[in-house]
Amino acid sequence: MADAKVIPFDDDRSRGAAVQRPARRRGAGSRRKESSLVREVREVQPLPGRASAQDDVPVTREEQPPPEAPQDQGGIERRIAGGLSFLRRRLTGDYDVDDFGYDEELTDQVLMSLLRPVYEKYFRVEVKGIENIPAEGGALIVANHSGTLPLDGLMMQVAVHDNHPAGRHLRLLAADLVFMLPVVNELARKLGHTLACAEDAERLLGQGELVGVMPEGFKGIGKPFSERYKLQRFGRGGFVSTALRRGAPIIPCSIVGAEEIYPMIGNAKTLARLLGFPYFPLTPTFPWLGPLGAIPLPTKWTIQFGEPIHTDGYPPEAAEDPMLMFNLTDQVREQIQHTLYKLLVQRRSVFF
């Protein structure tokens, strides 16, 4: 992405720091020192969330557990027994789903395993700043949205679950179109997604869940390739008032790499209207190559979770204050946009 409009930074030091630091990440002491340093830095910053040093620590590869090597007969036996007991529970319907239809067992055992190869091998997602996600309690992750198909949401879900020390599950808020389509709605509900509305978001946050939202919606995911990495309007900022009402921290999240998976060079508006979709993408390969054209480009992704913006300090009536809401929305938006630019500068190539 050499042609992206890059705004200059005064804090390029963070890049240098990132190169030196990765190996030290596991040391708890040094981490604590870091975070206190970051807090000091943050207090004097004019722009919120501008490149705190801590953000740049890559964690993806280090967190991997040593590959399981079930050489002995016992390991295989145990796996078969586990698989059979899973099959037994599924066949007899003896499993639980929550009020939203989230099927934790199916998600962990099957759906995540299907997404993980895409996440690890295809997009080679690198995750940064996972420590910004609290270990417990409700939090709202706000991310940019791109890529024609909402693969970024799914990858973010895998990223949170696989990298977070507490193995937290991300509950995504999805557009109503998702819940109108057959099969898609079933899978979305089982993956723990729910409709992007204030009621559901508040209920999930109240239950202490980690909620993921992409406020750009269709404007973000269906924007032409020429506007890549330009954040669109953040809806009406409803996510801020939801977070304020629940006192949940807002964690900005920037996803780099998803923009290029399906470069949308055109939009067949008439066809989209006929099918009832918000847009119908035309990419260099789709629909010209048929189903083959629907294979995303194997870009290299980076997902960075930024410094949380705390909302519990505001009085309860703050959720009704439109000025505060606009300010917070802008703050979140700006933080995501800045991190996007920063990650783009660091990126060596779209594919590597």
Residues 98-127 within binding reach of other proteins (CB under 8 A): 98-101, 103
The window from 70-78, 220-228, 272-280, 284-292 that contacts other proteins (CB under 8 A) reads: 70-78
Task: Identify whether the C-beta of residue 298 lies closer than 8 Å to the C-beta of residue 151.
Answer: no
The window from 17-25, 172-180, 209-217, 277-285 that contacts other proteins (CB under 8 A) reads: 172-180
Which of 176, 265, 269, 295 binds other proteins (CB under 8 A)? It is 176
The window from 198-206, 230-238, 278-286, 344-352 that contacts other proteins (CB under 8 A) reads: 198-206
Instruction: Give the DSSP letter string of 189-205.
Output: HHTT-EE-SHHHHHHHH
Distances (CA, A) of 326 to 205, 231, 276: 21, 16, 31
The window from 31-39, 123-131, 177-185, 243-251 that contacts other proteins (CB under 8 A) reads: 177-185
In the complex, minimum distance from the CB of residue 16 to other proteins, in angstroms, rounded to a whole number: 47
Which of 71, 92, 270, 349 binds other proteins (CB under 8 A)? It is 92
Q: How far apart are CA 146 and CA 127, in angstroms?
A: 17
Which of 77, 108, 312, 320 binds other proteins (CB under 8 A)? It is 77
Q: How far apart are CA 303 and CA 129, in angstroms?
A: 9
In the complex, minimum distance from the CB of residue 294 to other proteins, in angstroms, rounded to a whole number: 19
Total residues contacting other proteins by CB under 8 A comes to 39
Q: How far apart are CA 99 and CA 103, in angstroms?
A: 10
Task: Identify whether the C-beta of residue 221 lies closer than 8 Å to the C-beta of residue 150.
Answer: yes
Q: How far apart are CA 181 and CA 187, in angstroms?
A: 10
Q: Is 223 in the site for other proteins (CB under 8 A)?
A: no
Which of 96, 316, 323, 349 binds other proteins (CB under 8 A)? It is 96
Instruction: List the structure tokens of 317.
Output: 């009536």
Cα 8-58-330 angle, rounded to 5 deg:
45
Instruction: List the structure tokens of 279.
Output: 């847009």
Task: Identify whether the C-beta of residue 27 lies closer than 8 Å to the C-beta of residue 62.
Answer: no
Q: Is 81 in the site for other proteins (CB under 8 A)?
A: yes
Which of 29, 46, 65, 182 binds other proteins (CB under 8 A)? It is 182
For helices 198-206 and 238-246, what crossing angle results, to 10°? 30
In the complex, minimum distance from the CB of residue 93 to other proteins, in angstroms, rounded to a whole number: 3
User: Which residue, 180 or 271, has its beta carbon nearer to other proteins?
Assistant: 180
Compute the residue count for the chain: 352
Residues that bind other proteins (CB under 8 A): 73, 76-77, 80-81, 84-85, 87-88, 90-101, 103, 176, 179-186, 189-190, 194-195, 197, 199-200, 203
